[in-house]
């Protein structure tokens, strides 16, 4: 899995959204938030996503998630473990996830002031994620990524 913070501006303060994409398929598999910007990426992971993970499952994430080595693989972790061959795969996964971010950003729901209630923003964000997922399922898929486990116990998932 690959975790991505999505940030939008609402009522004068930053609020963060989180969405998760599967490494093997590129599908959106989890959407959560909003969260006040005072929460770090790692705090939100610990609060909401860690309990959703299967036994032995790990996620691939950026450096904002250092601190949960039993659950999260970062480029720093791969370098430390000497798994330099997996770094190319890691960065391809991250690039594909950025393409998923772009699909959400073109709707202008992440960087502009949302002028309705916070609960409505959650509904709109989820609706856009569903629309984009339907587009991926019907002729506009994400580019493929080959992900090798390299014996690290990482499932074919990408946050």
The per-residue pLDDT for range 91-138, each reduced to its tens digit, is 888 888 888 888 988 888 777 777 777 778 888 888 999 999 999 999
Instruction: Give how many domains the chain has, as a whole number.
Output: 1
What is the spatial distance between Cα 121 and Cα 31, in angstroms, rounded to a whole number?
13
Q: How far apart are the first and last CA of the chain?
A: 3
Residue 159 domain flag: no
pLDDT value at 48 more than 70: yes
CATH code at position 19:
3.30.420
- What pLDDT does 131 receive? 95
Residue 53 domain flag: yes
Selected residue with higher pLDDT from 11 and 146: 146
- What pLDDT does 53 receive? 84
Selected residue with higher pLDDT from 62 and 112: 62
Q: Can you read off the two tokens belonging to residue 41?
A: 């990426």
Residue 143 domain flag: no
Residue 115 domain flag: yes
| Range of 29-38, 78-87, 110-119 with top mean pLDDT | 29-38
* 77 contacts: CB under 8 Å, gap ≥ 6: 66, 69
What is the spatial distance between Cα 42 and Cα 59, in angstroms, rounded to a whole number?
12
Bridge partners (DSSP) listed for residue 35: 16
Which residue range(s) make up the domain with 70? 2-137
pTM value is 0.73
Residue 79 domain flag: yes
- What pLDDT does 136 receive? 92
The string over 119-150, giving b where at least 16 C-beta atoms fall within 10 Å of a residue's C-beta and e elsewhere, is eebbeebbebbeebbeebeeeeebeebebeee
Residue 155 domain flag: no
- Sheet strands side by side (includes 72-73): 28-36, 13-21, 2-10, 59-60, 72-73
* Three-class secondary structure assignment of 62-119: CHHHCCCCCCEECHHHHHHCCCHHHHHHHHHHHHHHHHHHHHHHCCCCCCCCCCCCHH
């Amino acid at each position: 899995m690959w975790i991505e913070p999505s940030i939008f501006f609402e009522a004068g303060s930053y609020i963060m959204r989180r969405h998760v994409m599967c490494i093997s398929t590129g599908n959106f598999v989890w959407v959560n938030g909003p969260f006040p910007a005072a929460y770090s990426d790692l705090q939100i992971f610990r609060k909401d996503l860690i309990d959703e993970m299967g036994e032995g499952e790990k996620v691939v994430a950026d450096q904002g998630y250092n601190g949960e080595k039993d659950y999260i693989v970062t480029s720093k972790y791969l370098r430390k473990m000497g798994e330099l061959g997996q770094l190319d795969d890691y960065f391809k996964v991250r690039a594909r996830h950025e393409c998923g971010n772009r699909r959400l950003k073109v709707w202008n729901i992440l960087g502009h002031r949302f002028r309705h209630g916070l609960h409505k923003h959650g509904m709109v964000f989820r609706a856009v994620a569903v629309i984009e997922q339907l587009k991926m399922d019907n002729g506009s898929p994400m580019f493929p990524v080959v992900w090798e486990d390299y014996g690290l116990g990482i499932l074919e998932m990408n946050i």
